[in-house]
C-alpha cells in the first residue's frame, strides 16, 4: 500500500510538472505553490481545529511571516484570532514568569551590584530567543514537497520529452536548480548533464529576452514593435528569486 501511495504521488507530481512547464516561472515553484494552496485549504477547513496541531502552533508562535499574511488574505480572521489568542496567552504567561524571576533576583542581590550584573548577563544570554519560525507548519510541508518534486523531476529527466519541456520553460529558480543538481549528483550522475543543459538553455533564452527589453528602452529603438520580451524581467526575477508566494 505504501509503494502504491508513493507511486501515486510520483505520478501526480509528474503530471503537475508537465502542466507547470507550460506556465511562466520556475516549474518546481509552480507545483510547490499549488500543493501549498491545497494544504492551506485543508487547514482552513479542519486543520486549525486539531488540538495537537494548535499546541504545535503555540510552541512555534504561529506561522512564519509569509504564511501568516497569506492566511490573512484569505479571510481567516476567526481562525487566526483563535490561534493567536492561545499563542499570546502563552507569551503573556512566559513574560509574567520572567518578570517575577527578575524581580526576585533583583531584590535578592540589589545590594551586591557586581553580582547582579554578572547574573543578569547570564540570564539574558539564556533567555533571549528570537523567533526563527523554523517550525512553521507550512514551511516544513513546503520543504517536504520540494524534495519530492525535485526527486521526481530528476527521475523524469531520463525521458527526452521531459528534457524538451523543461528546456522550453522559464527554467528552475536558482534554489531549485541547486537542489536538482545535488539530487542528480547523489542519485544519478548521468542525469546531471541533462540538468545543466536544460538550465543553460533556459537561462540563455531569458538573458537574450532581457537584453532585448533593455535595448528597446533606448530611444533609438522605441518605435520597434514590442512583444513578450517586455515582461522578460519577470522571468529573470523568477529564475533568480523563485516564483512569488513560495518564500
Supply the mean pLDDT for the chain. Answer: 85
In a domain, 186, yes or no: yes
Q: How many domains does the chain fold into?
A: 2
Residues 36 and 148 in one domain: yes
Residues 36 and 143 in one domain: yes
Quote the CA–CA distance of 182 and 186 in Å, as a whole number: 6
pLDDT(128) > 60 = no
**pLDDT for the residue numbered 221:** 65
Residues 25 and 67 in one domain: no
The residue-averaged pLDDT of 216-242 equals 83
Residues 180 and 227 in one domain: yes
**pLDDT for the residue numbered 82:** 87
Read off the pLDDT band of 239 (50, 70, 90).
Answer: very high
pLDDT(4) > 50 = no
pLDDT(114) > 70 = no
**pLDDT for the residue numbered 1:** 34
Q: Which of 97, 127, 157 is the last residue of a domain?
A: 127
Domain coverage including residue 88: 61-127
Q: Which residue has the higher pLDDT, 136 or 197?
A: 197
Q: Which of 127, 151, 183 is the last residue of a domain?
A: 127
Residues 121 and 144 in one domain: no
In a domain, 55, yes or no: no
Residues 164 and 215 in one domain: yes
pLDDT(113) > 70 = no
In a domain, 46, yes or no: no
Cell readout for 245 is 508566494
Quote the CA–CA distance of 214 and 171 in Å, as a whole number: 21
In a domain, 49, yes or no: no
The residue-averaged pLDDT of 203-230 equals 83
Residues 104 and 191 in one domain: no
Residues 147 and 212 in one domain: yes
State the Cα angle at 134 between 147 and 199, rounded to 5°: 35
In a domain, 168, yes or no: yes
The residue-averaged pLDDT of 36-57 equals 85
Q: Which of 127, 148, 170 is the last residue of a domain?
A: 127
Residues 144 and 236 in one domain: yes
Helix residue ranges, H only, the chain:
2-21, 27-45, 51-59, 65-72, 77-109, 113-127, 137-156, 160-168, 174-187, 189-216, 232-241
171: exposed, middle or buried (C-beta count within 10 Å: 0-12, 13-18, 19+)? buried
The residue-averaged pLDDT of 111-139 equals 61
Q: Which contacts (CB < 8 Å, 24+ apart) does range 209-215 have?
A: 209/235, 209/236, 210/236
pLDDT(229) > 50 = yes
Read off the pLDDT band of 117 (50, 70, 90).
Answer: low
105: exposed, middle or buried (C-beta count within 10 Å: 0-12, 13-18, 19+)? middle
The residue-averaged pLDDT of 210-234 equals 81
Amino acid at each position: 500500500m505504501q509503494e502504491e501511495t508513493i507511486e501515486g504521488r510520483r505520478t501526480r507530481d509528474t503530471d503537475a510538472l508537465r502542466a507547470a512547464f507550460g506556465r511562466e516561472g520556475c516549474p518546481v515553484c509552480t507545483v510547490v505553490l499549488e500543493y501549498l494552496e491545497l494544504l492551506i485549504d485543508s487547514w482552513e477547513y479542519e486543520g486549525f481545529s486539531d488540538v495537537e496541531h494548535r499546541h504545535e502552533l503555540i510552541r512555534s508562535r504561529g506561522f512564519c511571516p509569509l504564511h501568516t499574511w497569506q492566511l490573512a488574505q484569505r479571510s481567516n480572521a476567526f481562525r487566526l484570532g483563535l490561534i493567536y489568542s492561545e499563542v499570546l496567552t502563552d507569551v503573556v504567561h512566559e513574560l509574567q514568569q520572567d518578570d517575577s524571576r527578575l524581580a526576585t533576583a533583583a531584590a535578592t542581590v540589589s545590594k551586591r551590584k557586581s553580582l547582579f550584573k554578572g547574573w543578569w548577563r547570564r540570564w539574558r544570554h539564556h533567555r533571549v530567543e528570537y523567533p526563527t519560525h523554523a517550525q512553521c507548519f507550512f514551511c516544513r510541508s513546503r520543504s517536504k514537497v520540494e524534495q519530492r518534486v525535485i526527486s521526481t523531476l530528476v527521475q523524469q529527466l531520463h525521458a527526452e520529452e521531459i528534457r524538451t519541456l523543461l528546456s522550453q520553460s522559464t527554467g528552475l529558480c536558482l534554489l531549485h536548480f541547486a537542489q536538482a543538481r545535488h539530487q542528480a549528483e547523489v542519485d544519478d550522475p548521468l542525469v546531471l548533464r541533462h540538468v545543466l543543459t536544460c538550465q543553460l538553455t533556459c537561462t540563455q533564452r531569458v538573458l537574450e529576452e532581457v537584453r532585448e527589453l533593455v535595448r528597446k528602452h533606448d530611444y533609438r529603438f522605441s518605435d520597434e514593435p514590442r512583444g513578450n520580451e517586455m515582461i522578460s524581467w519577470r522571468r529573470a526575477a523568477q529564475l533568480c528569486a523563485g516564483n512569488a508566494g513560495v518564500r
